[in-house]
Every structure is written in C-alpha cells, then in structure tokens.
Amino acid sequence: MFSRNLVKEFLFISLVLWMPVFGLSQDVKVDSLVQDSTQTLENIMENPSTESINVDSLFTAAKKAAFELKDFQSAIDLCESILTQEPENYDNRIFLGRLYAWTGQYDQSIALLKMVVHEQKYFDDARSALVDVYSWNKQFSEALEVIRVGLEENPLNSDLYYKKAICLRSLSEPQAAQIALQNLMRLDPGHVQGRSMLDSFSKAESLRKITVAYNYNRLADTRTQWQALVGAVSMDPWHLMTIEGAQTFDFGPIIARYSLARRFQQVGMQFELESYPNIRKGTYAYIGLGYSGTELFPVARFGAELFQNLPRDYEISLGSRFLHLEYEDIIMYTGSLGKYIGNYWFNLRSFLVPGASASTFAWNLVSRRYLKDAETYLEVNLSQGESPDLNPGVAELAYLGSWRLAVQFQRKLDEVNLLKSGFSLANIEVRENAYRGDTGFFLSYSRRF
C-alpha cells in the first residue's frame, strides 16, 4: 500500500507551495488540511511502487514552512524525513540544527551541529550556525572557542570576526571586541553591521581619547557669491584651536572641549561639555552645554537630540539648539537622516530657525567613503546657510547667506593614533550684495589611552 506518511508529506509540500497562489491565509493549519485530503489521495493511488518525494522539494517546503508559515514543527518533521533519506545532506542538517534552536531545543541543536563541524571542518556555514546557537543560549565562551578554531582554519572568514565581536561585547570585553572589529574592517571595509558596531564603540565604549585641532581661515572681500579661493587677503585671518578629552562611563561617553579663537583682532574662549548617553539598543541621545564670557562665542549654548537606528541601515534624529547671545536668544530645530550604502555613509542634516517675520533654513550634506577600516576615510561636506554645529562663532549667525564645501581625510596611524586634515572653500554674504571669500585649512591629532 502507498505510505500514509508519504502521502502527508506530498500534500504538505503541495499546500505550502500553492497556498499563496490561491490566496489562503498563512494562519490555516496545514495538518488539518492534510488530514482532510489524505484519504482522497490514497484512494486514487494504485501504484504501490511509487518512489519517495524528491528531497529538494521537501527541503523547499521545510524552509517555506519555517519562514512564511512559522510552522517550525512541520519544518522539523520534513528535515528529519530528509535526514533518514540523505544523512549526508549537510545543508539540511545545518537547517535542522537552527530549527531545533529556534524552538528552544538547544542541546539537540548543538549536538547535531557539532557533528557536522567535526565531519566537515572546512564547512563555514556549519561553524557559523554553531556559534549562533551557542550565542542564543548565552554560552559565549563556547562560541568563542568555535570561532578560534574556525579562524585558524580560515583566517579570512569575516563573518566569524563579527560574531567574535558580538560575543566579546556580551562578555563585557569592549577592547577585545574593538580589535576583532578592526580586523574585520581590514578584511571587509564594507561590512555594514561591523562598521556600525565599531562606530557605537567609538561613541560609547572606546578608551580615553585626547584630540588637538587647529583651523586657519584666509579671508578676502569678493564681488560675487561664487568666489571662495582666497589668494591675497584683505582682512586678518581667523584662527581657532580646540583641545578636547573624552571619557567613557557605563551610560555613555562625556566629552569636554576648550576652544580658543582669534578673530577681528580679538581673542575669545569657550568651554563645552557633551555626552552621547545610550537609552536602549539602537537608540541614543546627544546633550551639549557651552559657556563663553567673550564676544566671539555665544554667552551660553544648549543642545539636545535623539537618534534612532532603523532597518536597512538608516538612522534618523530630531533635536534642537538654544543659543543665548548678548542681544537675543535663538532657538533652532534640527533633524538628520543617515544611510549606509556599501562603503559609503551619507547624512543630511537641516536647521530651522523660526522668526517673527521670516524663518531661516540651513542644511548640511556629508558623504563619507570608508577605506581600509572604519577609522580611515575620505569625507566631503557641502552646506548652505549657517549652523552652530559647523560654525561656533557669533558673527556667522548674523550673515544673510553662505555656502561651504569641505574635504577631510582621516587616517588611523596605529591602534591609538589618528590624524585628520582637510580644507574648505566658502563664500559668505555679510551684507546685502557684499560677499566674503573664505579658504580654510584644518588639522587634528587624536590619541587614545
């Protein structure tokens, strides 16, 4: 007689593959449909020598049951059926191991995957699956041992470096995790998740860091708004030096910054304190305070912003800036949209200043190309209008309009030293039909401790 189990398997495959075509809901229980139809199919089957159903069809049905119908038990039954027919089908055994883990059967999953890894030590998919299962079961030390052996067998496996960083971070070893991510970036600079995690370490878990930066701007009156390259200066150049230190705490980093400026034959200074506290996974904030007792900077400044990571490597933010000047107070609203595309990072930020008679608007577009690692990159910055994030001085806030193009290059010299340099071209409308060209140069050095 025709096998009743074989009939059920045939019906299950047919139903799984054709349910979407006939518009059947995925909530329909496949078992009940099979039970109602089994007898009918048995009655028309007259050939007792019918061969078993094709294994590839069974595997396709198992994946469809798991991913689309969320019927993990039926998927397990199909994979176990394949296991009896083709014990050496390693793709099926790996998938079955993951199914066991997804249903909480970690011991069965680990046992099955360890057998595959033992039999096929160069099979990276099996090792990766075993690492995942150990991690899901909070067995991070066991996962790291699997990763260690895997990297000895295949030192170019970027997936294992990323999972090593996840395990080390879960074991509260941020420095070792960053080293794993840096190795990952050398192998695959376009690894989006790895770069995002390394960026999060830079904001939340990095070592102490001190940065010294210097800006030099050559200025000259121009006839049009498109002249930016300054040859012969017609006024005193501007100088700005900053020294900042960053220290990480459990809630996130705190950055202290001191700025010293020379403009219009005056000297001014400003003190700032910033933090990027972590709120939850994928969500963090920005809080900034500043004070200056001189005329070159706002008397006081305050900023707050909320950042949220989104699917498909997007990030959005929304916040505000408050500036207290000697003669008025200014409130700005700001928001940004960021996106990773391969080795590139794009970010568009806008500023809106509501006014009694008219509102002013400024925007800034950043395009960053990552090179050999996440800390070596080339960045192009294009902006229109003035904003406190780009120009910290008081004078810029009174200008009627401006545009600015800047190019920066950062290079990681070694594990603790960073060097960044760049130049900028800008034109500022200081009064109606009166323009000023601005050619700037920038240099900074950072060292971790």
| 201-to-198, 228, 286, 321, 389 alpha-carbon distances in Å | 5, 38, 15, 26, 22
pLDDT of residue 326: 82
Give yes or no: residues 284 and 366 share one domain.
yes
Range of the domain at 191: 4-202
Phi, psi for 386 (deg, rounded to 5): -105, 140
pTM of the model: 0.58
Give yes or no: residues 8 and 108 share one domain.
yes
Q: Encoding tokens for residue 381?
A: 């910055």
Counting DSSP H helices and E strands in the chain, the numbers are: 11, 15
Asked which of 202, 225, 249 is the last residue of a domain, the reply is 202
Return d(Cα 262, Cα 215) in angstroms, integer: 11
Give yes or no: residues 176 and 218 share one domain.
no
Return d(Cα 236, Cα 267) in angstroms, integer: 13
Return d(Cα 17, Cα 31) in angstroms, integer: 15
pLDDT of residue 438: 87
Burial (Cβ within 10 Å: 0-12, 13-18, ≥19) of residue 219 = buried
Give yes or no: residues 278 and 412 share one domain.
yes
Give yes or no: residues 186 and 284 share one domain.
no
Give yes or no: residues 49 and 99 share one domain.
yes
Give yes or no: residues 173 and 305 share one domain.
no
**If you ran DSSP here, which 8-state letter would residue 44 be given?**
H
Q: In terms of DSSP H, where are the helices of 188-341?
A: 192-204
pLDDT along the chain (449 residues), means of 10: 46 49 46 40 33 74 86 89 87 91 91 89 85 91 91 87 90 81 84 83 66 92 76 80 88 90 89 91 89 88 93 88 87 92 88 74 91 84 78 60 90 87 88 82 92
Do residues 215 and 440 touch, judged by C-beta distance below 8 A? Answer: yes
pLDDT of residue 354: 86
Asked which of 152, 179, 202 is the last residue of a domain, the reply is 202
Give the distance from CA 59 to its chain's centroid: 34
Burial (Cβ within 10 Å: 0-12, 13-18, ≥19) of residue 21 = exposed
How far is it between the farthest Cα atoms of the chain? 102
Domain count, the chain: 2
Give yes or no: residues 33 and 118 share one domain.
yes
| 7-to-44, 46, 61, 96, 230 alpha-carbon distances in Å | 11, 13, 14, 22, 83
Return d(Cα 159, Cα 174) in angstroms, integer: 18
Q: At 337, which CATH number?
A: 2.40.160.60
Give yes or no: residues 210 and 90 share one domain.
no
**If you ran DSSP here, which 8-state letter would residue 50 be given?**
P
Q: At 113, which CATH number?
A: 1.25.40.10
Do residues 308 and 293 touch, judged by C-beta distance below 8 A? Answer: no
Return d(Cα 83, Cα 155) in angstroms, integer: 31
